[in-house]
Structure 1
Amino acid sequence: MIQEYCQNAIARAEYKKLDDGTWFAEIPGFQGVWANGESIEACRQDLWSVLEEWLVMKIQDGDPLPCFNGLSLHVKEVAVA
């Protein structure tokens, strides 16, 4: 489920080639999730890592996660015995 969510989020990413020849990417609706790299593929890989770390922090803090394309992640607290 998380991988599908990430794949769909990355598919929404917007890429821009900067004046210095590097690439910048961000995902609309995912505030603070952005990356840059020497190539578009390096940028995409970095963006994936940033997205994963961002999701972990959001889940730890109990913050809501963006819903898009009918996808959403809902974290439920489970009692530990």
Structure 2
Amino acid sequence: MAIRFILSDYVEIAIAFAIYDKLEDGTFTGRIPICKGAIAFALTLRECQDKLRSTLEDWILLGLKLGHSLPIID
């Protein structure tokens, strides 16, 4: 039986809703609209995806520490 972690599942589902844009200067931005404030900027799309995942994980942990409820995503 495989071990499942609810927060890992939450991150994967949230990342599926990410929106990425290429900016005029050639860099990238990524955001998850339902997770207000979860945004990242980077030189490449891959780096932006990695940074957004890390930002989302920090966003979740800080929100839980401060007693905020997480938005229902799926």
Equivalent residue, structure 1, for 2:52? 47
The two structures have a TM-score, normalised by structure 2, of 0.89
The two structures have a TM-score, normalised by structure 1, of 0.82
1:15 aligned residue (20, 26, 34)? 20
Which whole-Å CA distance do the structure 1 matches of 2:43 and 2:12 have between them? Answer: 21
Query: Gaps spanning 5+ residues in structure 1: where?
Result: 70-81
Which whole-Å CA distance do the structure 2 matches of 1:30 and 1:8 have between them? Answer: 12
Superposition deviation, residue 24 in structure 1: 0.4
* Identity level (%): 35
The reply on whether 1:25 has 2:30 as its aligned counterpart is: yes
Q: Which has the larger radius of gyration?
A: 1
Query: Gaps spanning 5+ residues in structure 2: where?
Result: 1-5
Superposition deviation, residue 49 in structure 1: 0.6
Equivalent residue, structure 2, for 1:38? 43
Matched position secondary structure for 1:24? strand
Superposition deviation, residue 61 in structure 1: 0.7
What whole-Å deviation, never above 9, does each CA across 1:19-57 have from its counterpart, x for those lacking one? 010100100111110001111110000001100111111
